[in-house]
Amino acid sequence: MSSSLFIPFLKQLISDFDPGEIKRVEEILKANKIPYRIKSYNPRGPFGRHYDSKTYETIVMPLYKNAQRPTITYIVYVKKKDYDRAKNLI
């Protein structure tokens, strides 16, 4: 399944800041052939996101390798009929 697949009547399964956790959920959904969609959300918008990434790249990264990256929320959606099954799997 693909995250760009159009799926009508979706229900939010999970939202998280950790891309590793989202990847884990994605692998479970793929293995069980549950269609899904992943959407990313940045509360700062496109201009703030650009500013954050440039600041992180030029100022923060050279000074402190473990600095927090700009916050992005990942949201996984599934069909309403698949929601209970997907929730139990993750």
Q: Give pLDDT, residue 2.
A: 45
Overall pTM surpassing 0.85 (yes/no): no
Reduced to 3 states, what is the DSSP secondary structure of residue 17? Answer: coil
Q: How confident is the model at residue 42 (pLDDT cuts 50, 70, 90)?
A: confident
Q: How confident is the model at residue 31 (pLDDT cuts 50, 70, 90)?
A: very high
CB atoms within 10 A of CB 7: 13
Tally DSSP H helices, then E strands, for the chain. 4, 3
How confident is the prediction for the chain on average, in pLDDT?
Answer: 78
- Which of 36 and 46 is assigned the larger pLDDT? 36
Domain definitions of the chain by residue range: 10-89
Token pair of 62 as six digits:
């050279």
Query: Which CATH class name applies to 10-89?
Result: alpha beta
